[in-house]
Every structure is written in structure tokens, then in C-alpha cells.
Structure 1
Amino acid sequence: MAIHPEHKKLHIAMLPWLAFGHMLPYLELAKHIAKKGHKISFISTPRNISRLPKLPSKYSPYIHFVKIPLPLVENLPETAEATIDLPREKIQYLKIAYDGMRDSVSQFLQTAKPDWIFFDFAAYWAGPIAKENNVPSVFFTIVIAAVLGFCGPAPALMAGYGSLDELQVLTTSPKWVKFPSTVAYRLYEVLRMQDSFIGNVSEASDIYRFGAGIQSCDLLALRSCSEFEPQWLHVLEELHQKPVFPVGQLSPLTVDNGDDEKNVAWTGLESTIKQWLDSQEKRSVVYVAFGSEVKPSQDELTEIAHGLELSRLPFFWVLRKQLGEFDTEMIELPEGFEERTKGRGVVCTGWAPQLKILSHESVGGFLTHSGWSSVVEAISYEKALILLPFLNDQGLNARLLEEKKMAYSIPRDEREGTFTRDSVADSLSLVILGERGKVYRENAKSMRELFADKERQEMYVENLMEYLQEHREIKKENGDTTQIKES
């Protein structure tokens, strides 16, 4: 149907989970939507909003931050408002506090009356309260289609898993995947995240939250593109029988963030980092970082460190020794490691400018946990990937990347997840220098266009917005009674 120009602009509320690996992709999508003149109400807690990257002035008129404080919850420190502030065992209390935001979110929907709300997996209650307020909803998940497709239909997700024996099914390709695929969890990955499947002290397990969110939404959106995983997007359409929209990879190179990461001046401490990178040979440096939520065990840290030492490759390592100030178990580098690798390697225990580092010509590969934001950033700058997944969707991401010969995973014990310093060193040398690693280096370059093409990214956002606009017009013409039909 034709959309009248005066009716084109939408007001969209966004409710991401309280993890920067979720909030930042939501914010990237918000910028793409704001670029088209639509209004965004971005809902989060006061401290999280203050820690988000400053918006370029061009987006400020369109993106409004809505601050909703977390209720006080026993066992959750008052200043902890995101997963980055907490060790893993305390994140369940953050979910309890997050669930306590639902009345405030409902009140916002009543008063602001947005045209749509985009909500994340943890806010599984957002779909029902949106319906109560006559606001259609989008379950926008930052995971890729392969991850969501592997997990299965909403009723099965909501039923959950009662025991370790039941969890073993997650180590094989599911029956609803009709094509050959190696996408499945390793046993050690399942064992490490049993609470995500079986539950914790919060009112719902992670897997239940995913299922309930998918079941209650009007439309499913995810960080993907049809050229990259067409079969998995089809699996989602078959499983959920509702509209499925990939929103693109949301590469940082496809939206104006106020500067060009490659050319903007490196300031302060960054200048020291740049000087060191400038002194290294092209494509020789291994960049090592495991995101904001991963802290290796002490044994894993020791093997990674010795592996870097054995590889003889120059490296820049962003190391998180603890997960927030309330993490009492700090990990430490092997004695004498920094002295032995001085000049050849740098260990940074604070913040580092990841995009600037990845954009530097001396960086040849990225040793990463396989978080999808890190994968997208690496491919955007044509960096080869060496994978060491730990939690959540990381293992499934790694399987898909391996299938596509886009990355190489460090070999590990299937049950324990252990790995050796030799396997670390050999994997790094293979990908950065070896003939066998040439395919990973070349695919990192060839996939850049798919991941970081501005026109392609614009197309995905435009397709989504056209659908959302059209549905609003249908609602108006039918007195807000029409249900969304699959397109």
C-alpha cells in the first residue's frame, strides 16, 4: 500500500538487555533508523546510558535516552547495572532487577505510545505488556540466524531442559535442520552454561526467555543478512511462522559514528599504542581480546600466555583480570611473562580502542571469543580470525565460521574444553603465517564487502522500516485491530 509522506516517521522504543554486547548493537541499529528521520526512545538504566558512546550531533534530535533505575535486589551491588560490572554467578541477580523494570516500561508505553517496541531476550515480558498497551513488538536479538535456528521452536525453548542427559541433545544438529551442518555445541560449552538452559534464581532461564520472547512478538528481527546464512533464515521462518527480518551485520563502517576510525587522531594513551603498532611489520601482530564478559580461568590464562610466548609472534593483548569490582577472583599472568615478551608483546589491562587497533595495518589476526560484534569488526577490517569460544552463542558462532572457512578454532578437549599452549602457538602461526591459513586470510578480505557494505546495510534497514511503516498505516485504517500477517 502507499504510505502518505506525513505519516512516514515512526516512534520506536528500544529495550536491550543490560550487557554492552547487546546495548551497543541496539544503539547501532538505532542510528541507522534515526538516519532515516525516525524517533528512537532508548530505554536503559542511568549508569549504562552514561557509559554508552557519545552520540554524534546528527543523531541527537532523533535518539532520546529513557532512564529507568533498577530496583534494589538482594545480592546485587547498588552500582552494578550491567554484566560488565559482575562476575558470571551474580548476573542472575541482575536479571531479577531487570525484571523489576517491567512496570516502569509498561508506564512508559502507556504515556509515550510508541509505534513499535524492540525488545531483547531477557525482557521476555515486554511482548505481553506491549500488547496490553496496543503497541506491536519486535523481538530483536543480537544473535545470528544459525544460533537462533539451532535453538529450535518457541514451545521447546520454553519447556527447557531438566537434566544434563537432556542437554546432551545440544551437541548434535537438530532434526528441524534439513541440510548438512556442523553447527552444534561442544559438550564442554553445554556444561559451562547449564544455568542458561536449566535455570537459576531469577524467575526464568535464558532459554525460556528466548522462547517466550519469540512467541509473544509480532515480528522477529536479528543481526544477519540473507547472503550470509540464507538456509538458517529459512529455518527460522519455518519454525516460527511469523515475519523474520535480518537487519544486516551492523558493521561500524556502515554508519557515521562521528569520525573515521582509521584516520582520526590517536590521543593520549592511544598514541602510545599507535607508536608500538607502527613499529611492527605489516600483518604480523596478533590482537587478543575476549570481550567484556569473558574471563578465562587461571589455567586457561596461563596456557594462552605461554602459547603467545611460544608463537614468537608480536601481540597486543587486552586482558580482563576480573569481571567488575565485585569479582574477588583475579587471574594473573605467569611469573616473568611480561619481562620475557617485552618489546614483542603488550598487555593492556584497561580499556583499549579496539576498532583503531583492528584497523591498523600491522595487525594480521584476531584471537577472539567469537562474540559476533568482534567477528563483524574483524571482518570489516579484513583481519583473519583465530577462535577460542567460552560461553553463550560463541561456540555456535565458531562452528558456522569454521564451516565457511572464515576462521580457525584452537583445538580443545571435547568434554573439559581444555587446550594447550602448543595448540595456541600452532593455531596462531597457522592463521597468521602458514600456507594452510591462507584460506582464512583470504576469506577475511573477501567477506568484507558483505559485512561492511553501506548500501547493503541501508537496504536491510530500509526493508524493515517499510514493513513497520506499512503495518502502522494498516492499524490506523482498521482501528488498531489488525494482527500482523506474515509477508
Structure 2
Amino acid sequence: MAGGGEGGGAGSDVVHVVMFPFLAFGHISPFVQLARRLVSDEAAGVRVTFLTAAGIAPRVEAMLESAAGAVRVLPLNLPEVPGLPAGAASTADVSGDGAELLKLALDGTRPEVRALLAELRPDAVLVEFATSWVCDVAAPLGAKVLYFSVFSAVSFAYFTVPARLAGGQPPAALTARDLMVAPAGYPAASPLTSAPPQLQGPALVYPYTSFHGMPCVYDRVVAGVEGSAGIVMKTCREMEGPYIDYISSQFGKPVLLAGPVVPEPPQGELEERWASWLSSFPDDAVVFASFGSETFLPVAAATELLLGLEATGRPFLAVLNFPKGPDAAAELEARIPPGFEERVRGRGLVRTGWVPQQHILRHRSVGCFVNHAGFSSVVEGLVAGCRLVLLPMKGDQYFNAALFARELGVGVEVAQRDDGWFGRGDVADAVAAAVAAGGDGDAKWRDFFTNEAVQNKFQVDFIRELKKVVRA
């Protein structure tokens, strides 16, 4: 193990792990979940230091509250980048090109990160695509770098393996047509041997497109994996075995599996304003629709969603969020159909902003969860006992939806045209199918995710493999 500083030290069984995710909460959350899991058993001998931008450090600390004392959050000072708003510290603070500029800002923290790692002397550093340069910084210090993919194995295998460039062409030369076909060697039994037709044009080629002269996402991923001692994935063989094996063979690296990292039960009680409204309905009656903080429905799509929820005849709570900048109240108003509020008064609520999702999902009256097929959201919904309706909007979400609904028998996909359009009837039909009798796949995987012995074994096995890599 790395010696000196604050690392475990030679001969010590304590492993000091530094985590350094991209500045998007959709990326930070999986790192936080893994950090909490790693330090939950003091006897396991793992402690964590978390690096993030100073502007969001307090929020990250709040996310790690249950692990306070075992996880230390260190703030980084982002350098000024032309075009990046002053004080911007995450994708929640920017719009449009801001996410690309945040990568430049992160690149600019290299000297500060080098100094911190030299002081901390960690045994391992977990990075991802935007922080792949840490491989070069950590190597002289003797720290082992592990590449943590926050995406499902099914989508990571499709987009970022070396076979994508089997012809030797640069990433920028790949066309949408090239990407409609799975890379060579991709698991033949997969329902996704071609890209979902809804994933078209710029969205499909984005990982291979360079901005501001920076390496594209694909190049960053490959550099991070090739410079690492292994790949960490928040999944398991039971769910994604063939894709895990394909990734390992493509990169010639071990894949350390953390398991699906089931969220801890929420702390405290549900606020009275939510509890009172939800409690006015029978058990399992309410449909909850939420798409996370970084998936935004266009006006037409949001309107059809709301009309579809109305058409179910069920009580519902819908949460719609918007990119940074526009007036949220005005954006919400633009998506609410004429006469809608009067027609659903007493049984339908539409809100924007943060809501206590885990508390809401676990309320006795909530029986169906319409979501964007984000990996964590699907797991949260299953663990809470909700039937799932999957309505992917972008990128890996389409792959997640196919994995869960078509391979694992979990949830119901909303029917979408090749251009991604769906109608109110498609939403209502999917909800009806999800709440109908059956759901054997949901029950099987709910039992799997809530089996404490199974989840504990994932944790024990992962920490054992982590220590093996560190000691190698």
C-alpha cells in the first residue's frame, strides 16, 4: 500500500480511498452511495476522502451526513474559465455549453489535486471520464487509480469499448450510422445489438465529439481506463454478466463489482404537506412521476405526460424540472394544458424543484413510479415496492430501460415512436400494464435488492477485491 501522508501505510489493513467525480449530481450521487457503503462497517478498514468543487462541498457533505466522520470532503477551487458563470460549481449551475466548460475548469484543478494527493498519500483514487488525468498525477505517488463508471454496463459496453474504433478511425469520424450498430463482440443475446432508434443525431455522436479543443468523452474514458488498475461498476453479474465480461475482455482490466448499491432508507419523516395529501388516498393508488434533477422534458412531451396521467383516472404527483436559467414557474405553466388543473383538482399535483423522492416512493398510497430509467431511480422504486413505468429521454436511459424491461422483466416501457414522440395514451397504457396483476420480474428483483445477506456479500467481496488491487 502507499506509505506516508494519510494513506493506510505499509502493512496497514486500512485502505484510504480518494473519490473524484465529475461536477454533476447524477455523477456525484453514485460516488456518494459507494462511499457510504464502503465506510458503513468500521471493521472493513476503509476510509474515504471526497474531492469536489468548493461551491457544492456543503451539499456533498449533506449527502454524506450518514457517514459523517468516516468520509472527509475536501473543496477544490475551480479556476476562472471564459464563458463559465462566476461561482458555477456543477451542471446544476449552468446551461447549454456550461457542462463542457466545467470540464475545462476541472482540468485546471490539476496542480491543486496533485498537491493534495501528495499530502494525503491515498492507497487508491476513484476517477471517471472528466478526471482521467489523475492517472498521470497519481502514478508517481504509488496510488492505484480505479476508473468508476457511473453508467450501466450495458451502455458502457455499447459506447466506450476499444472495438468502437476497430477501423482505426478517430472518434470524430464516427457517424450516427456507424453507431447504430453495436461494436464487434457485443453480447449477441442482447436486445440492444443496435442503438434505440429514439437515440439519434447529435445525442448519439456526442461522446465522440470534441469541444473547446478538449479530448472527447470517449477519449477521456479510454485514457482513464487504460491508465487505471481496474474498472469499478455499480452493478452485478446477476444483472449484467455478459456486458461485464465483454468490458473486461475489451480493456484487459479486472472489473470490480460494487453491486447495485441499494440506497439506505431515508432519514426522518415525510413533511406534513406531502404526507397529508398522499394519506388521503388508498394504498397503492397514487402514480408518482419524476425524472431526476438533470432530465428535462420538452414542452410537448411534458404536456402529453400530464394528459396521460390524467387519463389513468388515478391520483398522481408529477415533478418536472428545467435547465438552469429559465423561470421555473413560467416553464411549468407552459407545459400545463388548458383546463387541466380544474379537471384534476383534488387528485393531481404538478410541482417543480426538489422533492423527498425516497420518502414519497415509500408512502403506502404510492403504487406506481413513472421515471426516466435512471439506474438509481429504478432501484429506488423497486425497493420501495412500486410498479415501474420507464420513459427514457436520453443516452444511457434507453439502454437501461431495455435492460430492465426486456432482459430482467422489470417495469413497463412507454411506447415511443422512432423520433422519441409518445402520446397521452401511451402513458396511460403503460401505467395500466404496470399496475395490472403479475409483475413477477419486479417481485424477483425487489427480493434480490432487499436481501440483506446478498447486499452485504457485494460489500464484502468488493472491499476484498479493492484491497487485492491496492496490494498488487
- Normalization by structure 1: what TM-score? 0.87
1:446 — aligned with what?
Answer: 444
Residues 252-275 of structure 1: per-residue CA shift (max 9 Å, x gap): 13xxxxxx43x8322xxx211111
2:331 — aligned with what?
Answer: 330
Compared with structure 1, are the counterparts of its residues 202 and 360 closer, same or farther at alpha carbon in structure 2 (3 Å cutoff)? farther
1:265 to 254, 262, 269: 269
Question: Is the deviation greater in 323-332 or in 420-429?
Answer: 323-332
Is 2:54 the partner of 1:43? no
Is 2:402 the partner of 1:399? yes
1:146 — aligned with what?
Answer: 154
Q: 1:92·1:200 contact (CA, 8 Å) conserved in 2?
A: yes
Write the mapping of 1:29-108 to structure 2, written as runs, cut at 5 A. 29-35=34-40, 36-52=44-60, 54=62, 59-108=67-116
Q: 1:84·1:323 contact (CA, 8 Å) conserved in 2?
A: yes
Q: 2:164·2:183 contact (CA, 8 Å) conserved in 1?
A: no
In structure 1, what is the Cα distance between the partners aligned to 2:219 and 2:170? 6
1:249 to 241, 260, 269: 260
The letter for the 2-side match of 1:450 is F
Compared with structure 1, are the counterparts of its residues 424 and 384 closer, same or farther at alpha carbon in structure 2 (3 Å cutoff)? same
2:217 to 188, 202, 206: 206
Is 2:342 the partner of 1:339? yes
1:315 — aligned with what?
Answer: 316
1:16 — aligned with what?
Answer: 21
Write the mapping of 1:153-232 to structure 2, written as runs, cut at 5 A. 153-154=161-162, 156=164, 161-162=171-172, 166-183=175-192, 184-193=194-203, 194-201=205-212, 203-232=214-243
2:117 to 109, 127, 131: 109
Write the mapping of 1:118-133 to structure 2, written as runs, cut at 5 A. 118-133=126-141
1:353 — aligned with what?
Answer: 356
Compared with structure 1, are the counterparts of its residues 79 and 5 closer, same or farther at alpha carbon in structure 2 (3 Å cutoff)? closer
Secondary structure class of the residue paired with 1:44: strand
Aligned residues: 454
In structure 2, what is the Cα distance between the partners aligned to 1:160 and 1:463? 38
Secondary structure class of the residue paired with 1:162: helix
Q: 2:95·2:324 contact (CA, 8 Å) conserved in 1?
A: yes
Q: 1:368·1:389 contact (CA, 8 Å) conserved in 2?
A: yes
In structure 2, what is the Cα distance between the partners aligned to 1:453 and 1:459? 10
In structure 2, what is the Cα distance between the partners aligned to 1:427 and 1:58? 37
1:236 — aligned with what?
Answer: 247
Is 2:419 the partner of 1:408? no
Residues 421-468 of structure 1: per-residue CA shift (max 9 Å, x gap): 221222222222x4xxx44x3322221132233332222232232233
Residues 295-317 of structure 1: per-residue CA shift (max 9 Å, x gap): 11111111112212222221111
The letter for the 2-side match of 1:242 is K
2:294 — aligned with what?
Answer: 293
Is 2:466 the partner of 1:468? yes
Secondary structure class of the residue paired with 1:399: helix
Compared with structure 1, are the counterparts of its residues 202 and 5 closer, same or farther at alpha carbon in structure 2 (3 Å cutoff)? closer
Question: Is the deviation greater in 141-150 or in 191-200?
Answer: 191-200
The letter for the 2-side match of 1:33 is L
Residues 317-351 of structure 1: per-residue CA shift (max 9 Å, x gap): 1111x222468993522233222211111112122
Q: 1:154·1:214 contact (CA, 8 Å) conserved in 2?
A: no
Compared with structure 1, are the counterparts of its residues 335 and 71 closer, same or farther at alpha carbon in structure 2 (3 Å cutoff)? farther
In structure 2, what is the Cα distance between the partners aligned to 1:309 and 1:55? 34
Is 2:380 the partner of 1:377? yes
In structure 2, what is the Cα distance between the partners aligned to 1:85 and 1:58? 26
* 1:233 positional shift: 1.5
Question: Is the deviation greater in 147-156 or in 360-369?
Answer: 147-156
The letter for the 1-side match of 2:387 is A
The letter for the 1-side match of 2:89 is E
Compared with structure 1, are the counterparts of its residues 274 and 116 closer, same or farther at alpha carbon in structure 2 (3 Å cutoff)? same
In structure 2, what is the Cα distance between the partners aligned to 1:159 and 1:78? 38
Residues 235-286 of structure 1: per-residue CA shift (max 9 Å, x gap): 1221111111110111113xxxxxx43x8322xxx21111111111222211
1:305 — aligned with what?
Answer: 306
Residues 351-378 of structure 1: per-residue CA shift (max 9 Å, x gap): 2100011111211211111111111111
Q: 1:289·1:319 contact (CA, 8 Å) conserved in 2?
A: yes
The letter for the 2-side match of 1:442 is D
Residues 38-93 of structure 1: per-residue CA shift (max 9 Å, x gap): 22110001222211363677732321111002111122112321122223442111
- Normalization by structure 2: what TM-score? 0.89
Secondary structure class of the residue paired with 1:330: helix
Q: 2:256·2:466 contact (CA, 8 Å) conserved in 1?
A: no
* 1:156 positional shift: 3.6
Compared with structure 1, are the counterparts of its residues 174 and 70 closer, same or farther at alpha carbon in structure 2 (3 Å cutoff)? same
Secondary structure class of the residue paired with 2:350: strand
Secondary structure class of the residue paired with 2:261: coil
1:477 — aligned with what?
Answer: none
Q: 2:32·2:63 contact (CA, 8 Å) conserved in 1?
A: no
Q: Percent identity?
A: 27
Secondary structure class of the residue paired with 1:417: coil
Compared with structure 1, are the counterparts of its residues 96 and 326 closer, same or farther at alpha carbon in structure 2 (3 Å cutoff)? farther
* 1:6 positional shift: 6.3
- Segments of structure 2 that go 5 or more residues without pairing to the other structure are 1-7
Q: 1:70·1:98 contact (CA, 8 Å) conserved in 2?
A: yes
Q: 2:415·2:426 contact (CA, 8 Å) conserved in 1?
A: yes
The letter for the 1-side match of 2:19 is M
Q: 2:229·2:469 contact (CA, 8 Å) conserved in 1?
A: no
Question: Which structure would you say has the larger RCO, counting Cα contacts within 8 Å and 6 or more residues apart?
Answer: 1
